Amino acid sequence: MKRTSLESARCPVARSLAAIGDWWSLLIIRDAIDGVSRFGDFQRSLGISKCTLTARLKTLVSLEILKMTPVGTDSAYEHYHLTDKGRDLFMVVLSLRQWGEDHCFRRGEKHSILVDSKTGRRIRKMKIVAQNGRSLEPWAVSVQKAGAR
Amino acid sequence: MKRTSLESARCPVARSLAAIGDWWSLLIIRDAIDGVSRFGDFQRSLGISKCTLTARLKTLVSLEILKMTPVGTDSAYEHYHLTDKGRDLFMVVLSLRQWGEDHCFRRGEKHSILVDSKTGRRIRKMKIVAQNGRSLEPWAVSVQKAGAR
């Protein structure tokens, strides 16, 4: 399957992955959420080549996930900020974080955590919530195909 | 940055992406969540080559995200099911779905939806929730580095 067929899929998961389904993009978005905005700071944080970073940032700007503010003539001084569409990826980054916390560290191994800035307390695990506010288990939900309504 | 340095990162987002950060893997997991279990059914659903699918399934089994049940000698008849670790990726797939619903379809364009199987009603948008149950905006949370506790 080519990227184009992912983009034209009726499935929102496939469409999202067509846009942001590579880990450089998601790590750039993670850093932008954490307040990184300068080309050079992304480069240092990610240990990524200038060329790869330029290409990924360009794609994220063309997808309107990031917006670019040029500062002078040197690309190393450009600033990048999340658009509203980009900020909405917070939940994707958060879900990756919570799964990683649960499954990608050995017992006792340290990792960063996400806290409520006001209280310093860890935020809750994400839940699937029905319209009436009940929590649902994954097996209690189902996909309704596009034509089924 | 190499995949190995992603794996050794202190950041749970980076670790998750090292494991499942390619879209074939996430589409396979999406299909497994939707009940697909047979090699041939994954292949038909994804339009993926037998070779690529074999490699991705092997990786997902080695990561203990899927478990394999051989049926006879032909790989086309093997069955794959999510482990608990794999099932926990539901929230990642859901977050990708909800972002895709909001940002990857034109107004009026049809897409599949996720419903509470009991009521047939759409499930709620995911939220960031503090320990005391309050909803938080993305800018009201912050990352506490591994060494900071």
> Do A77 and A83 meet the contact criterion of CB atoms below 8 Å apart?
no
pLDDT at B56: 93
ipTM of the complex model:
0.88
Report the distance separating Cα B4 and Cα B2, nearest Å.
Answer: 5
Q: pLDDT tens across B96-111, in order?
A: 999 999 998 888 888 8
The alpha carbon of residue B42 is apart from the nearest alpha carbon of chain A, in Å, by 12
Percentage with pLDDT > 70 across chain A: 89
Residue A1 banded pLDDT, cuts 50, 70, 90: very low
**More confidently predicted of A13 and A147:** A13
**B12 vs A112: CB contact, 8 Å cut-off?**
yes
Which residue from A15, A46, A101 is facing B104, i.e. has the nearest CB?
A: A15
Segment A77-101 mean pLDDT: 92
Is-above-0.90 flag for pTM?
Answer: no
Full DSSP string of B110-142: ---EEEETTT-PBPPPP-EE-TTS-EE-GGGEE
Interface of A with B in 13-52 (CB under 8 A): 13-19, 21-23, 26-27, 30, 33-34, 46-48
Q: Is A140 exposed, middle or buried (0-12, 13-18, 19+ CB in 10 A)?
A: middle
pLDDT at B76: 61
Supply the Cα-derived Rg of chain B in whole angstroms. 18
Report the distance separating Cα B39 and Cα A130, nearest Å.
Answer: 32
pLDDT at B1: 44
Q: pLDDT tens across A28-54, in order?
A: 999 999 899 999 999 999 888 999 999
